[in-house]
Structure 1
Amino acid sequence: MISNKKIQLSLVAVLITFETLLNSTHAIELDEITRTVTLEESGKTIILTPEQVKRGKRLFNSSCAQCHNGGITKTNPNIGLEPESLSGATPPRDNIYSLIEYMKDPTSYDGATSIAELHPSIKSAEIFPKMRNLTDEDLFAIAGHILIQPKIAAEKWGGGKIYY
Protein backbone atom coordinates (compact mmCIF):
# COMPACT_ATOMS: atom_id res chain seq x y z
CA MET A 1 0.00 0.00 0.00
CA ILE A 2 1.26 3.46 -0.95
CA SER A 3 1.50 5.87 1.95
CA ASN A 4 -0.10 9.29 1.95
CA LYS A 5 3.33 10.85 2.26
CA LYS A 6 4.51 9.20 -1.00
CA ILE A 7 1.37 10.35 -2.81
CA GLN A 8 1.84 13.89 -1.54
CA LEU A 9 5.50 13.91 -2.59
CA SER A 10 4.58 12.59 -6.02
CA LEU A 11 1.93 15.29 -6.47
CA VAL A 12 4.35 17.99 -5.38
CA ALA A 13 6.95 16.70 -7.86
CA VAL A 14 4.39 16.71 -10.69
CA LEU A 15 3.23 20.23 -9.79
CA ILE A 16 6.80 21.57 -9.63
CA THR A 17 7.61 19.99 -13.00
CA PHE A 18 4.45 21.41 -14.56
CA GLU A 19 5.10 24.89 -13.09
CA THR A 20 8.70 24.83 -14.37
CA LEU A 21 7.54 23.97 -17.88
CA LEU A 22 4.85 26.65 -17.79
CA ASN A 23 7.21 29.34 -16.54
CA SER A 24 9.86 28.49 -19.11
CA THR A 25 7.40 29.11 -21.95
CA HIS A 26 6.28 32.40 -20.42
CA ALA A 27 9.85 33.45 -19.69
CA ILE A 28 10.68 33.71 -23.38
CA GLU A 29 10.89 37.41 -24.09
CA LEU A 30 10.59 38.81 -27.58
CA ASP A 31 13.71 40.59 -28.76
CA GLU A 32 13.74 44.24 -29.82
CA ILE A 33 13.69 43.39 -33.52
CA THR A 34 10.47 41.41 -33.08
CA ARG A 35 8.97 44.20 -30.96
CA THR A 36 9.83 46.89 -33.53
CA VAL A 37 6.79 48.01 -35.52
CA THR A 38 5.96 50.86 -37.88
CA LEU A 39 4.50 53.82 -36.02
CA GLU A 40 3.26 56.02 -38.86
CA GLU A 41 3.05 56.28 -42.64
CA SER A 42 6.42 58.02 -42.85
CA GLY A 43 8.04 54.71 -41.90
CA LYS A 44 9.10 55.82 -38.41
CA THR A 45 9.30 52.80 -36.10
CA ILE A 46 8.90 52.17 -32.40
CA ILE A 47 9.99 49.35 -30.12
CA LEU A 48 7.07 48.08 -28.06
CA THR A 49 7.76 47.35 -24.42
CA PRO A 50 7.18 43.80 -23.16
CA GLU A 51 4.28 45.23 -21.14
CA GLN A 52 2.68 46.71 -24.28
CA VAL A 53 3.05 43.36 -26.03
CA LYS A 54 1.39 41.47 -23.17
CA ARG A 55 -1.35 44.08 -22.83
CA GLY A 56 -1.98 44.11 -26.58
CA LYS A 57 -2.35 40.34 -26.68
CA ARG A 58 -4.74 40.31 -23.72
CA LEU A 59 -6.86 43.15 -25.12
CA PHE A 60 -6.90 41.71 -28.64
CA ASN A 61 -8.01 38.34 -27.30
CA SER A 62 -10.80 39.87 -25.23
CA SER A 63 -11.97 42.53 -27.71
CA CYS A 64 -11.07 41.40 -31.23
CA ALA A 65 -10.32 37.68 -31.41
CA GLN A 66 -13.96 36.65 -31.63
CA CYS A 67 -13.94 37.83 -35.27
CA HIS A 68 -10.18 38.01 -35.91
CA ASN A 69 -8.81 34.85 -34.30
CA GLY A 70 -5.40 34.17 -35.79
CA GLY A 71 -5.52 37.37 -37.85
CA ILE A 72 -8.38 36.26 -40.07
CA THR A 73 -11.55 38.23 -40.70
CA LYS A 74 -14.52 35.91 -40.24
CA THR A 75 -16.91 38.16 -42.15
CA ASN A 76 -14.53 38.47 -45.12
CA PRO A 77 -11.86 35.74 -45.28
CA ASN A 78 -10.25 37.47 -48.29
CA ILE A 79 -9.06 40.33 -46.08
CA GLY A 80 -7.15 39.51 -42.93
CA LEU A 81 -4.79 41.26 -40.57
CA GLU A 82 -1.63 40.08 -42.32
CA PRO A 83 0.77 42.73 -43.71
CA GLU A 84 -0.35 42.32 -47.34
CA SER A 85 -4.01 43.04 -46.55
CA LEU A 86 -3.18 45.86 -44.14
CA SER A 87 -0.92 47.63 -46.64
CA GLY A 88 -3.43 47.16 -49.48
CA ALA A 89 -6.24 49.00 -47.69
CA THR A 90 -7.10 52.61 -48.40
CA PRO A 91 -5.66 54.25 -46.44
CA PRO A 92 -3.00 51.66 -45.62
CA ARG A 93 -3.49 50.19 -42.15
CA ASP A 94 0.01 48.82 -41.73
CA ASN A 95 1.18 51.09 -38.91
CA ILE A 96 0.18 51.85 -35.33
CA TYR A 97 -1.50 55.21 -35.98
CA SER A 98 -3.58 54.04 -38.93
CA LEU A 99 -4.79 50.98 -37.01
CA ILE A 100 -5.75 53.20 -34.07
CA GLU A 101 -7.66 55.48 -36.43
CA TYR A 102 -9.42 52.43 -37.87
CA MET A 103 -10.37 51.17 -34.41
CA LYS A 104 -11.78 54.59 -33.61
CA ASP A 105 -13.73 55.04 -36.86
CA PRO A 106 -13.58 52.04 -39.23
CA THR A 107 -14.11 52.32 -42.96
CA SER A 108 -14.52 49.81 -45.77
CA TYR A 109 -11.35 48.34 -47.27
CA ASP A 110 -11.39 50.99 -50.02
CA GLY A 111 -11.86 53.74 -47.41
CA ALA A 112 -15.02 55.02 -49.10
CA THR A 113 -17.67 54.04 -46.54
CA SER A 114 -17.93 54.18 -42.76
CA ILE A 115 -18.60 50.75 -41.27
CA ALA A 116 -18.79 51.96 -37.66
CA GLU A 117 -22.27 50.47 -37.23
CA LEU A 118 -21.01 47.04 -38.35
CA HIS A 119 -17.49 46.87 -36.92
CA PRO A 120 -16.70 47.39 -33.23
CA SER A 121 -15.11 50.80 -32.77
CA ILE A 122 -14.81 53.67 -30.36
CA LYS A 123 -17.29 55.60 -32.53
CA SER A 124 -19.87 52.83 -32.08
CA ALA A 125 -19.09 51.98 -28.44
CA GLU A 126 -22.77 52.28 -27.53
CA ILE A 127 -23.47 49.34 -29.86
CA PHE A 128 -20.32 47.36 -29.03
CA PRO A 129 -19.80 47.35 -25.23
CA LYS A 130 -16.30 45.81 -25.44
CA MET A 131 -15.07 49.08 -26.97
CA ARG A 132 -16.45 51.35 -24.24
CA ASN A 133 -13.53 51.29 -21.85
CA LEU A 134 -10.63 51.09 -24.30
CA THR A 135 -8.22 54.01 -24.00
CA ASP A 136 -5.80 55.31 -26.63
CA GLU A 137 -3.10 53.39 -24.76
CA ASP A 138 -5.18 50.22 -25.10
CA LEU A 139 -5.70 50.82 -28.83
CA PHE A 140 -1.94 51.40 -29.21
CA ALA A 141 -1.23 48.05 -27.54
CA ILE A 142 -3.81 46.24 -29.70
CA ALA A 143 -2.35 47.77 -32.88
CA GLY A 144 1.12 46.71 -31.75
CA HIS A 145 -0.12 43.17 -31.18
CA ILE A 146 -1.57 43.04 -34.69
CA LEU A 147 1.70 44.26 -36.22
CA ILE A 148 4.05 41.91 -34.37
CA GLN A 149 2.02 38.76 -34.99
CA PRO A 150 3.35 38.16 -38.51
CA LYS A 151 6.85 38.05 -36.97
CA ILE A 152 5.75 35.53 -34.35
CA ALA A 153 3.17 33.38 -36.13
CA ALA A 154 4.57 33.87 -39.65
CA GLU A 155 2.25 32.43 -42.32
CA LYS A 156 -0.30 31.32 -39.71
CA TRP A 157 -1.27 34.93 -38.95
CA GLY A 158 -4.08 35.70 -41.39
CA GLY A 159 -3.82 32.19 -42.85
CA GLY A 160 -7.51 31.48 -42.41
CA LYS A 161 -9.07 28.03 -42.46
CA ILE A 162 -5.77 26.35 -43.20
CA TYR A 163 -4.60 27.02 -39.64
CA TYR A 164 -7.67 27.98 -37.59
Structure 2
Amino acid sequence: MLMLNRLIMLLKKSMFSLISICLFVFTLVVLPTVAIELDEATRTIILDNSGQTVVLTPEQVKRGKRLFNNSCAQCHNGGITKTNPNVGLELESLSLATPARDTINSLIDYMKSPTSYDGQYSISELHPSIKSAEIFPKMRNLTDEDLFSVAGYILLQDKILPEKWGGGKIYY
Protein backbone atom coordinates (compact mmCIF):
# COMPACT_ATOMS: atom_id res chain seq x y z
CA MET A 1 0.00 0.00 0.00
CA LEU A 2 2.86 2.38 0.87
CA MET A 3 4.50 1.61 -2.45
CA LEU A 4 1.27 2.36 -4.30
CA ASN A 5 0.94 5.75 -2.55
CA ARG A 6 4.51 6.64 -3.51
CA LEU A 7 3.83 5.66 -7.11
CA ILE A 8 0.71 7.85 -7.19
CA MET A 9 2.66 10.81 -5.71
CA LEU A 10 5.39 10.35 -8.31
CA LEU A 11 2.82 10.28 -11.13
CA LYS A 12 1.16 13.45 -9.79
CA LYS A 13 4.51 15.26 -9.71
CA SER A 14 5.30 14.07 -13.24
CA MET A 15 1.92 15.24 -14.53
CA PHE A 16 2.38 18.62 -12.85
CA SER A 17 5.83 18.96 -14.44
CA LEU A 18 4.50 17.96 -17.84
CA ILE A 19 1.64 20.46 -17.62
CA SER A 20 4.05 23.20 -16.52
CA ILE A 21 6.34 22.49 -19.46
CA CYS A 22 3.41 22.51 -21.89
CA LEU A 23 2.18 25.86 -20.56
CA PHE A 24 5.68 27.32 -20.82
CA VAL A 25 6.04 26.15 -24.44
CA PHE A 26 2.56 27.47 -25.25
CA THR A 27 3.48 30.87 -23.81
CA LEU A 28 6.70 31.07 -25.84
CA VAL A 29 5.54 29.63 -29.12
CA VAL A 30 1.81 30.00 -29.56
CA LEU A 31 0.91 33.28 -27.84
CA PRO A 32 3.31 35.53 -29.80
CA THR A 33 1.73 34.33 -33.04
CA VAL A 34 -1.74 35.16 -31.69
CA ALA A 35 -0.76 38.73 -30.74
CA ILE A 36 -3.06 41.41 -32.06
CA GLU A 37 -1.76 42.88 -35.29
CA LEU A 38 -2.72 46.51 -35.66
CA ASP A 39 -4.34 47.26 -39.00
CA GLU A 40 -3.16 50.02 -41.30
CA ALA A 41 -6.02 52.36 -40.40
CA THR A 42 -5.11 52.15 -36.72
CA ARG A 43 -1.44 52.76 -37.46
CA THR A 44 -2.26 55.89 -39.50
CA ILE A 45 -1.17 58.95 -37.52
CA ILE A 46 -1.22 62.68 -38.32
CA LEU A 47 2.28 63.79 -39.29
CA ASP A 48 2.04 67.58 -39.29
CA ASN A 49 -0.26 70.58 -38.98
CA SER A 50 -1.24 70.41 -42.65
CA GLY A 51 -3.08 67.16 -41.93
CA GLN A 52 -0.66 64.92 -43.79
CA THR A 53 -0.70 61.39 -42.39
CA VAL A 54 1.80 58.58 -42.13
CA VAL A 55 1.29 54.86 -41.56
CA LEU A 56 3.58 53.51 -38.86
CA THR A 57 5.15 50.15 -39.56
CA PRO A 58 4.75 47.42 -36.95
CA GLU A 59 8.51 47.72 -36.37
CA GLN A 60 8.17 51.46 -35.64
CA VAL A 61 5.38 50.74 -33.17
CA LYS A 62 7.49 48.11 -31.37
CA ARG A 63 10.52 50.37 -31.37
CA GLY A 64 8.46 53.32 -30.12
CA LYS A 65 7.06 51.21 -27.29
CA ARG A 66 10.51 50.01 -26.25
CA LEU A 67 12.00 53.50 -26.37
CA PHE A 68 9.00 55.05 -24.58
CA ASN A 69 9.20 52.45 -21.81
CA ASN A 70 12.95 53.02 -21.47
CA SER A 71 13.04 56.82 -21.70
CA CYS A 72 9.58 58.19 -20.81
CA ALA A 73 7.49 55.71 -18.82
CA GLN A 74 9.10 56.55 -15.50
CA CYS A 75 7.10 59.81 -15.50
CA HIS A 76 4.47 59.01 -18.16
CA ASN A 77 3.42 55.43 -17.42
CA GLY A 78 0.02 54.86 -19.01
CA GLY A 79 0.10 58.29 -20.64
CA ILE A 80 -0.21 60.22 -17.40
CA THR A 81 2.15 62.96 -16.28
CA LYS A 82 3.24 62.19 -12.72
CA THR A 83 4.42 65.75 -12.07
CA ASN A 84 1.09 67.20 -13.28
CA PRO A 85 -1.79 64.70 -13.44
CA ASN A 86 -4.02 67.35 -15.03
CA VAL A 87 -2.01 67.14 -18.27
CA GLY A 88 -1.61 63.71 -19.81
CA LEU A 89 -0.47 62.33 -23.13
CA GLU A 90 -3.99 61.73 -24.43
CA LEU A 91 -4.87 63.49 -27.67
CA GLU A 92 -7.15 66.05 -26.01
CA SER A 93 -4.42 67.35 -23.67
CA LEU A 94 -1.85 67.33 -26.46
CA SER A 95 -4.14 69.29 -28.78
CA LEU A 96 -4.92 71.94 -26.14
CA ALA A 97 -1.25 72.76 -25.51
CA THR A 98 0.31 75.85 -27.08
CA PRO A 99 1.59 75.05 -29.59
CA ALA A 100 -0.51 71.92 -30.09
CA ARG A 101 1.46 68.69 -29.67
CA ASP A 102 -0.99 66.37 -31.38
CA THR A 103 1.09 65.46 -34.44
CA ILE A 104 4.27 63.45 -34.85
CA ASN A 105 6.30 66.49 -35.90
CA SER A 106 5.04 68.64 -33.02
CA LEU A 107 5.87 65.92 -30.49
CA ILE A 108 9.33 65.52 -32.01
CA ASP A 109 9.81 69.27 -31.69
CA TYR A 110 8.73 69.05 -28.04
CA MET A 111 11.12 66.15 -27.32
CA LYS A 112 13.95 68.18 -28.83
CA SER A 113 13.17 71.43 -27.01
CA PRO A 114 10.26 71.26 -24.54
CA THR A 115 8.23 74.29 -23.54
CA SER A 116 5.62 74.86 -20.84
CA TYR A 117 2.04 73.85 -21.61
CA ASP A 118 1.21 77.43 -22.55
CA GLY A 119 4.35 77.67 -24.72
CA GLN A 120 5.65 80.68 -22.80
CA TYR A 121 9.01 79.35 -21.62
CA SER A 122 11.54 76.54 -22.07
CA ILE A 123 11.43 73.65 -19.62
CA SER A 124 14.41 71.80 -21.07
CA GLU A 125 16.18 71.81 -17.70
CA LEU A 126 13.16 70.13 -16.09
CA HIS A 127 11.94 67.77 -18.82
CA PRO A 128 14.15 65.24 -20.60
CA SER A 129 14.96 66.42 -24.10
CA ILE A 130 17.62 66.34 -26.77
CA LYS A 131 18.46 69.93 -25.83
CA SER A 132 19.25 68.86 -22.27
CA ALA A 133 20.86 65.50 -23.04
CA GLU A 134 23.81 66.33 -20.78
CA ILE A 135 21.38 66.41 -17.83
CA PHE A 136 19.21 63.49 -19.01
CA PRO A 137 21.55 60.75 -20.29
CA LYS A 138 18.73 58.58 -21.68
CA MET A 139 18.17 61.23 -24.34
CA ARG A 140 21.79 61.28 -25.58
CA ASN A 141 21.58 58.51 -28.14
CA LEU A 142 18.07 59.07 -29.47
CA THR A 143 18.04 59.77 -33.19
CA ASP A 144 15.36 61.56 -35.19
CA GLU A 145 14.11 58.12 -36.24
CA ASP A 146 13.84 57.14 -32.56
CA LEU A 147 11.92 60.32 -31.74
CA PHE A 148 9.60 59.62 -34.69
CA SER A 149 8.88 56.13 -33.33
CA VAL A 150 8.25 57.42 -29.79
CA ALA A 151 5.94 60.20 -31.04
CA GLY A 152 4.05 57.72 -33.21
CA TYR A 153 3.70 55.31 -30.31
CA ILE A 154 2.34 58.06 -28.02
CA LEU A 155 -0.27 59.15 -30.57
CA LEU A 156 -1.17 55.54 -31.39
CA GLN A 157 -1.98 54.75 -27.75
CA ASP A 158 -4.90 57.17 -27.77
CA LYS A 159 -6.43 55.08 -30.57
CA ILE A 160 -5.73 51.71 -28.93
CA LEU A 161 -6.55 52.60 -25.30
CA PRO A 162 -8.81 55.67 -25.57
CA GLU A 163 -10.29 55.25 -22.08
CA LYS A 164 -7.09 54.35 -20.26
CA TRP A 165 -4.31 56.32 -21.98
CA GLY A 166 -3.72 59.45 -19.94
CA GLY A 167 -6.51 58.45 -17.55
CA GLY A 168 -4.46 59.11 -14.45
CA LYS A 169 -5.33 57.70 -11.06
CA ILE A 170 -8.53 56.12 -12.33
CA TYR A 171 -6.60 53.43 -14.21
CA TYR A 172 -3.02 53.54 -12.94
> Which interval holds the TM-score relative to the shorter structure?
over 0.9
2:31 maps to what in 1? 22
Distance 1:126 1:16, change over 3 A: same
**Is 1:45 equivalent to 2:56 in the alignment?**
no
Bigger radius of gyration among the two: 2
Note the C-alpha offset of 1:13. Answer: 2.1
Distance 1:56 1:5, change over 3 A: same
Q: Provide structure 2 residue ranges, at least 5 long, that are not aligned to the other structure.
A: 1-6
Question: Percent identity, aligned pairs only?
Answer: 69
Structure 2 matches for 1:3-152, cutoff 5 A? 9-20=18-29, 22-25=31-34, 27-152=35-160
Which deviates more, 112-121 or 15-24?
A: 15-24
Q: Supply the RMSD in Å over aligned alpha carbons.
A: 1.7
Note the C-alpha offset of 1:23. Answer: 1.8
Write the distance in 2 (CA, Å) between the matches of 1:163 and 1:113.
31
Q: Secondary structure at the match of 1:78?
A: coil
Q: Give the TM-score of the pair, scaled to structure 1.
A: 0.92
Q: Give the TM-score of the pair, scaled to structure 2.
A: 0.88
Note the C-alpha offset of 1:155. Answer: 1.2
- Deviation above 4 Å: which 4+ runs of structure 1? 3-8
Write the distance in 1 (CA, Å) between the matches of 2:22 and 2:32.
15
Distance 1:16 1:109, change over 3 A: same
Q: Provide structure 1 residue ranges, at least 5 long, that are not aligned to the other structure.
A: none
Instruction: Read off the aligned partner of 2:21 and give its amino acid letter.
Output: V
Q: How many residues align?
A: 163
